[in-house]
Amino acid sequence: MIDPDARRLLWFLFAGSRGGENRIRIISLLKERPYNTNQLAEAMGLDYKAIQHHMSVLEKNNMVTKAGEKYGVLYFISPYLEHHIDAFDEVKAAIDKKTASRSGKK
């Protein structure tokens, strides 16, 4: 069963605030392997500062953890998010479905 508090936090971070779509993309990348800020910026085609901002938001909300220092910092999904990955997947699927229906896709 999905924790309602985790679900609420995930909805806020990924659907209820600006930048949620980019944060979903970041988490989706980090599920595959760790990245540093520069690698994320390159992979996503976004500005380094924008990635820094999103990583700060994700870190403050316990979605990611980091290892290393300065430019060598690697980000990973947090143990909290790993534990609640079903809730993340549910929120992502709902957002994807809503986005697809807006654009006429199914």
Could you report the per-residue pLDDT of 41-95, keeping only the tens digit for each? 999 999 999 999 999 999 999 999 999 988 789 999 999 999 999 999 999 998 8
pLDDT of residue 98: 79
pLDDT of residue 61: 96
CA distances from 30 to 23, 78, 102 (A): 10, 10, 27
pLDDT of residue 42: 97
CATH architecture of 4-100: Orthogonal Bundle (1.10)
76/81 Cα distance (integer angstroms)? 10
9/15 Cα distance (integer angstroms)? 10
Residue 38's pLDDT band (cuts 50, 70, 90):
very high
pTM of the predicted protein model:
0.89
> Taking the domains of the chain in order of start, what are their residue ranges?
4-100
pLDDT of residue 105: 59
SS3 3: coil
